[in-house]
Amino acid sequence: MPRRSPLHDEHLAAGARLVPFAGWEMPIQYEGIQAEHRAVRGSVGVFDVSHMGEVETSGPDAEAFLQHVVSNDVTAIAERGAQYGLLCREDGGVLDDLFTYRLGAERFLTVTNASNHDKDTAWLRRQAAGFRVEVGDAAASWAMLAVQGPRARALLAELAEGELPARFRTAELRLAGVPCLVCGTGYTGEDGCELLLDPGDAPAVWKALLAAGAVPCGLGARDSLRLEACFHLYGNDLGEDRNPIEAGLGWCCKLDTGFVGSEALAGFEPEQVLVPFAFTGRGIPRQGNPIRAEHGAGVVTSGGFSPCLQIGIGMGYVPRADAEPGTPIEVDVRGTARAAGVRSKPLYRKED
């Protein structure tokens, strides 16, 4: 029996099409993926991402512990700050990608991917031996909403008592009368906030957001938006069989912190690297499609149709010598060779 979001009834009322996702039953779309995608690019949309997991880490060694397990420099997160980082295995394989929020000097909240949450929690608890830290599974305590788009902040400001957090900052505010942890983060390439709140309060906030004009958006638009923005999706572009250097995430791996996996990554020379690409003609790339490049084979890890560019776009691993933007590649879409070109990130830019 899949788990249901605290907003299940709201989704049905809004005409959602629900699908199984990472053990949850979540909305894939309401009116339609493209309309929702455009709402976020042009105005404001709201996503229920309550399937995301949360881990609360607290205690005198909380910072030292997270510095040990997370790839980025956790000591650089100011109080009320937010930071993207990775959990790696000893060999550098990526266990998860996650956002960590510093709620206090010795208290952090880390948001996990739903499909990895149990694995992450077990891993963190194993790694916690010797640290004066408590690793709490807080997934059941939080609902999560993402309010995204150029109008997101204006809409939230109308409902908020207090000032919204800046990008990569957090604030504890009342929104529509409900206490929320408001985070200046997102997964769409647009401005906006993510809201963490008590599951019992989620329907009231959801209704207030819709009443204020936010368009309900499903996981379909979430995926097409993040792909245009070239954000990694764990399970597609990231996995235990790839390391952060190959995935282009070396920027959030601070090797001198000595995090688990850092030794394996030091001096690592990738044979393949993850690149964004766009088709130059017809067709739509899909995950798993083989790539042919001048210096060897590769594979599509995410693919789809770009509602903004109206072409097939994707990300995939290609030989390092073929990773330069502008390099022509070919994608084998179920037997048909389709022409594509390596692009720079992001695939979609506002000025386009």
Tell me the closest approach of the beta carbon of residue 228 to other proteins, in angstroms: 11
Question: Pattern of binders to other proteins over 222-261, x per CB under 8 A?
Answer: -xx-------------------------------------
Residue 59 lies near other proteins (rule: CB under 8 A): no
Interacting span for other proteins (CB under 8 A) from 27-35, 74-82, 203-211, 257-265: 27-35
Q: In what order do the strands lie in the sheet with 24-29?
A: 3-4, 24-29, 17-21
Number of residues that bind other proteins (CB under 8 A): 20
Tell me the closest approach of the beta carbon of residue 342 to other proteins, in angstroms: 22
Place of tokens 């900052």: 169
Tell me the closest approach of the beta carbon of residue 305 to other proteins, in angstroms: 5
Question: Pattern of binders to other proteins over 267-306, x per CB under 8 A?
Answer: ---------------xxx-x-----------------xx-
Contact status, residue 226 vs residue 185, Cβ threshold 8 Å: no
Q: Looking at residue 239, what DSSP letter applies?
A: -
How close are the terminal C-alpha atoms of the chain, in Å? 44
Question: Measured from the CB atom, is 34 or 58 closer to other proteins?
Answer: 34
Tell me the closest approach of the beta carbon of residue 333 to other proteins, in angstroms: 9
How far apart (Å, rounded) are the C-alpha atoms in residues 67 and 31? Answer: 43
Question: Measured from the CB atom, is 103 or 227 closer to other proteins?
Answer: 227
Place of tokens 């229920």: 48
Question: Measured from the CB atom, is 17 or 349 closer to other proteins?
Answer: 17
At residue 269, what is the residue type? E
- Residues 110-169 binding other proteins (CB under 8 A) are none
Cis bond before residue 346 (omega within 30° of 0): yes
How far apart (Å, rounded) are the C-alpha atoms in residues 69 and 328? Answer: 38
Question: Measured from the CB atom, is 25 or 106 closer to other proteins?
Answer: 25
Closest-CA residue to 144 (of 94, 101, 107)? 101
Question: Measured from the CB atom, is 69 or 114 closer to other proteins?
Answer: 114
- What 3-state DSSP class applies to 155? helix
Question: Measured from the CB atom, is 34 or 43 closer to other proteins?
Answer: 34
Residue 33 lies near other proteins (rule: CB under 8 A): yes
Pairing of strands 53-58, 107-112: antiparallel
- Strand-pairing partners, residue 3, are 24
Which residues lie closer than 8 Å to 202 by C-beta, 6 or more apart? 5, 6, 7, 48, 50, 143, 145
Residue 45 lies near other proteins (rule: CB under 8 A): no
Dihedral angle over CA of 155, 180, 175, 43, nearest 10: 10
- Strand-pairing partners, residue 196, are 144, 181
Question: Measured from the CB atom, is 225 or 293 closer to other proteins?
Answer: 225
What does the block give as tokens for 77? 């997160």
Tell me the closest approach of the beta carbon of residue 336 to other proteins, in angstroms: 8
- Residues 205-224 binding other proteins (CB under 8 A) are 220, 223-224
Question: Measured from the CB atom, is 196 or 308 closer to other proteins?
Answer: 308
Task: List the one residue from 4, 23, 32, 141 that touches other proteins (CB under 8 A).
Answer: 32
Q: Looking at residue 1, what DSSP letter applies?
A: -
Contact status, residue 232 vs residue 238, Cβ threshold 8 Å: yes
- Residues 307-336 binding other proteins (CB under 8 A) are 307, 312, 334, 336
Question: Measured from the CB atom, is 29 or 301 closer to other proteins?
Answer: 29
Interacting residues with other proteins (CB under 8 A): 17, 28-29, 32-34, 37, 220, 223-224, 282-284, 286, 304-305, 307, 312, 334, 336
